[in-house]
Amino acid sequence: MAIVITGSVLNGTHTLSLTGAGILWTVATAWIGVGCVINARHCGRVHCRIDGILFPLLSLVGLLNVLGLVSLNWNVYWAIFLVILGASFLLEVFWKKYA
């Protein structure tokens, strides 16, 4: 999460371009996703499995956005991130805790 905040602060102060911040955000999302995959293999919780699949996919969307192959507002990117995170925990709470 420190990478996300650093990218946001540096972009907000115009120290880092939006593309540079996008690279940091994409790397952070991929990093979080890989952590979720590793964690899911050990604990088997539903939210870890969902996030471990969807966050790396979202980081691919971020990479395509950085490369200019898709046009996605970074606020929408982070909204999608939060929806994935929230939905995965809601499924765990209302469905089942372990896969």
At a CB cut-off of 8 Å and minimum separation 6, what does 68 contact?
A: none
pLDDT in tens, 77-94: 999 999 999 999 999 888
The predicted-structure confidence for 23-76, as pLDDT tens digits, reads as follows 999 999 999 999 999 999 999 899 999 999 999 999 999 999 999 999 999 999
Say what the pTM is. 0.89
Give the burial string for 9-39 (b: 16+ CB within 10 Å, else e).
eebeeeebeeeebbbbbbbbbbbbbeebbeb
Other residues' Cβ atoms within 10 Å of the Cβ of residue 7: 22
